[in-house]
């Protein structure tokens, strides 16, 4: 199965595997950005220190099992968000999730973080596709996918409806097909550097 590296770099971002001692940085990034995150991230409404500690502990469990690989997004030596590769879309697939501190948006940093995850994901054995999912009311999620040459493949109504106040309950699915038997660079990523 293999695992990605604990540290990934792409342009202006460094992704570092979350550790339990990152609680202060995680808590700061979420609490300072609560209003920015609330429309899209259900955890933002109830986040507290205990929830953050649970998240970091869960990250370690998921990494060990190969279920997910979650990273702190760092720029200029500061934790500015979170991202991860997740095995929740079936065999051969990974999906990418990400969020940024409000003060760091609009600089292409989410795209750089996602590009680093694509590079790492395509090196894992048996991966033939990587996806980005976002609610249709969140165009920034689609902008990241578009910049990395993902293709929109479907829109799906979420059975349980919206989870966060800004959501419509319609999930947009973007996909990047990867030939699992090659090591060629993914189209779109090299253009960012």
The 10s digit of each residue's pLDDT in 115-159 is 999 999 999 999 999 999 999 999 888 999 999 999 999 999 999
Predicted confidence at residue 1, as pLDDT, reads 55
Cα dihedral 156/162/167/171 (nearest 10): -20
Predicted confidence at residue 193, as pLDDT, reads 41
pTM of the model: 0.90
Predicted confidence at residue 2, as pLDDT, reads 86
DSSP of the chain: -----SEEEETTEEEEE--GGGHHHHHHHHHHTHHHHTTT-THHHH--HHHHHHHHHHHHHHHHHTSEEEEEEEETTEEEEEEEEE--S-TTEEEEEEEE-GGGTTSSHHHHHHHHHHHHHHTSTT--EEEEEEETT-HHHHHHHHHTT-EEEEEEE-TT--SSTT--SEEEEEEEE--TT--PPPTTTGGG-
- The average pLDDT across 102-127 equals 96
Predicted confidence at residue 76, as pLDDT, reads 94
Predicted confidence at residue 180, as pLDDT, reads 54
Predicted confidence at residue 182, as pLDDT, reads 45
* pLDDT class of 73 with cuts at 50, 70, 90: very high
Answer for the pair 68, 59: CB distance below 8 angstroms, yes or no.
Answer: yes
* pLDDT class of 3 with cuts at 50, 70, 90: very high
Beta-bridge partners for 157: 170
- Residue 19 corresponds to which tokens in the numbers above? 């550790």
Question: What CATH number should be reported for the domain whose range is 7-185?
Answer: 3.40.630.30
In this predicted model, what pLDDT tens digit does every residue of 37-70 receive, in sequence order?
A: 999 999 999 999 999 999 999 999 999 999 999 9
Domains of the chain by residue range: 7-185
Of all residues in the chain, the percent with pLDDT exceeding 70 is: 92
* pLDDT class of 31 with cuts at 50, 70, 90: very high
- Angle (nearest 5°) at CA 110 between 109 and 115: 95
């Amino acid at each position: 199965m293999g695992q990605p590296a604990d540290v990934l770099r792409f342009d202006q971002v460094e992704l570092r595997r979350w550790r339990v001692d990152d609680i202060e940085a995680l808590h700061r990034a979420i609490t300072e950005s609560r209003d920015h995150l609330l429309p899209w991230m259900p955890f933002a409404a109830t986040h507290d220190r205990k929830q953050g500690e649970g998240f970091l502990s869960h990250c370690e469990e998921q990494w060990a099992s190969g279920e997910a690989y979650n990273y702190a997004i760092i720029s200029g030596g500061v934790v500015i968000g979170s991202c991860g590769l997740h095995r929740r879309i079936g065999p051969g697939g990974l999906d990418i999730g990400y969020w940024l501190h409000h003060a760091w948006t609009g600089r292409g940093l989410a795209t750089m973080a996602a590009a680093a995850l694509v590079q790492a994901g395509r090196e894992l054995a048996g991966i033939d596709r990587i996806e980005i999912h976002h609610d249709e009311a969140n165009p920034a999620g689609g902008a990241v996918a578009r910049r990395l040459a993902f293709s929109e493949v479907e829109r799906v109504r979420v059975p349980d409806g919206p989870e966060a106040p800004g959501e419509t309950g319609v999930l947009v699915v973007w996909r990047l097909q990867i030939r699992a038997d090659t090591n060629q660079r993914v189209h779109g990523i090299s253009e960012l550097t």
